[in-house]
Amino acid sequence: MPAPAIFVASGLTQYLGAALAVGLFDRIPAAGVAWLRVVVSAVVLVALTRPWRAGWTRRRLAAATAFGVCLAAMNITFYVAIDDLPLGTAVAIEFLGPVAVAAVTGSGWRERWGIVLAFAGVVLLAGVTLEVGGPGVVVGLVAIGLAAAFWAGYIVLGRRVALGGSGVSGLAVAMTAGALVTAPFLVGTAAPVLTSWWLAGAVVGVAVLSSVIPYGLEQVVMRRVGAAVFAILLALLPATATVVGALVLGQVPGPLEVVGLVLVSGAIALTSARRRIPAAPAEVLPDPTP
């Protein structure tokens, strides 16, 4: 298959997982679903990589733990956000995190224009959402703002873990640490899966659709395309999330929302054209190097 087709399949899969998660929020709180997804992903990664075979220093373990806590917090705040916000809007606003990192670490015209476009798009999306949203929209906007900040931290901390030579083993340790650190706050909300086989199966489905499959597909794409092509593909993710939200959740965007999505997509394309920032980490487990 052509690399763009694989990437689109990856995006569709990850946001189908998010749409499935939204359907579980009536039975399990959004934060609980996110925590369960982290737990399942951690179990899969540990089983596949067996990270205990690698030599772990205290410094590398501390870096992986910090990375994992940031990753878990990013997933949790994203799921809390999509409980109140349209999926496409949430994904677009969350991209403010990596665009901001690119703007801070870069010095070219792409980065400067990228942050301007992203800010304009996010302001427009937030304004429309506040105008037409329900009573929980403020909570959703605060949560997605936190998710964007955690995504920025994820990129910075993920680079340190990647440069430490841990590879996917480091990601397995990070996911495990994130699940354990957040467990005291969220394990109680996950109790319904212990009494319902279909709920447990649905949570596993969310993890597979949102993490396992997209991660594998994205690795194929990143090996086959250059940074410029990857930037264009990355810019398609807000639109992909919007399509899934419209078809699966009935979240049809209005004209102003479409303009906001286009502005954010332009910012993504500009700021990632010379680098590869992780694609939609609230929904996949990507290569942590920016």
Q: Please write down the HEC assignment for all residues of the chain.
A: CCHHHHHHHHHHHHHHHHHHHHCCCCCCCHHHHHHHHHHHHHHHHHHHHCHHHCCCCHHHHHHHHHHHHHHHHHHHHHHHHHCCCCHHHHHHHHCHHHHHHHHHHCCCHHHHHHHHHHHHHHHHHHHHHHHHCCCCHHHHHHHHHHHHHHHHHHHHHHHHHHHCCCCHHHHHHHHHHHHHHHHHHHHHHHHHHHCCHHHHHHHHHHHHHHHHHHHHHHHHHHHHCCHHHHHHHHHCHHHHHHHHHHHHHCCCCCHHHHHHHHHHHHHHHHHHCCCCCCCCCCCCCCCCCC
Helix axes 96-105, 137-163, angle to 10 degrees: 50
Of 207, 222, 218, the closest CA to residue 240 belongs to 218
pLDDT tens digits for the chain (290 residues)?
777 788 888 889 999 999 999 999 999 999 999 999 999 988 988 888 888 877 778 888 888 899 899 999 999 999 999 999 999 999 999 999 888 888 887 767 777 888 889 889 999 998 888 887 777 899 999 999 999 999 988 888 877 776 666 567 778 888 899 999 999 999 999 889 988 999 999 999 998 898 778 866 776 776 676 666 766 777 888 989 999 999 999 999 999 999 999 999 988 888 876 555 444 443 333 433 33
Asked whether the beta carbons of 35 and 77 are under 8 A apart, the reply is: no
The pTM of the full predicted model, rounded to 2 decimals, is 0.88
pLDDT of residue 167: 62
pLDDT of residue 273: 63
pLDDT of residue 260: 93
pLDDT of residue 109: 79
* Distance between CA atoms of residues 245 and 258, nearest Å: 13
* Distance between CA atoms of residues 222 and 284, nearest Å: 14
Asked whether the beta carbons of 193 and 199 are under 8 A apart, the reply is: yes
pLDDT of residue 180: 95
